[in-house]
Amino acid sequence: MKTLKVKLTFTEPILGTSPSNEDIYREYIGSKSPDAATIEDEVEALGADAVAEKSMTVFPRTEDGKPFLYDYQIKGFFKDTCGGLRKVTGTASSKIKAFKREIDKLIFPSPRQIVFENYGTIGECQRPLRAQTAQGERISLAMSEEIPAGATVTFEIMCLCDTHEDAVREWLDYGQFSGIGQWRNSGKGRFAWEEIE
């Protein structure tokens, strides 16, 4: 078993991913999780008064108002990254079979709430969303809270299987190409990382 303590420094702004409408969030989380206590914790962290705009995505907040990432968002980044790197011959990711299950069962970021530091003033990012539908192309606007580049997060990653340590480092390295949060394909949420003691 190996535990890495890491610090991510965002080189590009990162966008919030939680809907600001508490009822939408409660219904969605409720459909995904049978644990009522977890639903209430996550809805409380979001805050009913976070943003007046119903369609805006925001960052959940600690009791004292600091934005944070949930540990499962780091796991989601790991799964997405491993899925891409599996196709690159010679990578540690290419050697992991059933990678989503391995990440779910053997790799654990902590703490549950990974609080942003040095995040400055939280702004907004508006962008068009385009979709091809049976009725033709549709365009709508999306809006998210945006934490500027330079923000940091510090957390630990426990690898229950020592052979996954190289893969975790590989995934963190990949953060320079594809980040965490919404609109990753545009470069949002990219980061550099370092191991700390």
Q: Are residues 65 and 100 in the same domain?
A: yes
Q: Are residues 7 and 92 in the same domain?
A: yes
Residue 34 is predicted with a pLDDT of 56
Residues 76-103: tens digit of each pLDDT: 999 999 999 999 999 999 999 999 999 9
Instruction: Give the residue numbers spanning the domain of 139.
Output: 2-16+59-195
Signed CA dihedral, 52, 55, 61, 67: sign only: negative
CA 187 vs. chain centroid, Å, equals 14
Q: Are residues 98 and 148 in the same domain?
A: yes
Q: Are residues 37 and 72 in the same domain?
A: no
Residue 50 is predicted with a pLDDT of 41
Q: Are residues 29 and 97 in the same domain?
A: no
Q: Are residues 98 and 138 in the same domain?
A: yes
Would the pLDDT of 196 be above 70?
yes
Q: Are residues 102 and 180 in the same domain?
A: yes
Q: Are residues 108 and 153 in the same domain?
A: yes
Q: Are residues 43 and 68 in the same domain?
A: no
Q: Are residues 121 and 36 in the same domain?
A: no
Mean pLDDT, the chain, rounded, equals 86
Residue 37 is predicted with a pLDDT of 61
Residue 136 is predicted with a pLDDT of 85
Q: Are residues 102 and 72 in the same domain?
A: yes
pTM over 0.85: no
CATH number at residue 87: 3.30.70
Q: Are residues 26 and 106 in the same domain?
A: no
Would the pLDDT of 167 be above 50?
yes
Counting the structural domains of the chain, the total is: 2
Q: Which stretch of 35-44, 74-83, 107-116, 164-173 has the lowest confidence by average pLDDT?
A: 35-44
Residue 142 is predicted with a pLDDT of 82
Higher pLDDT, 41 or 123: 123
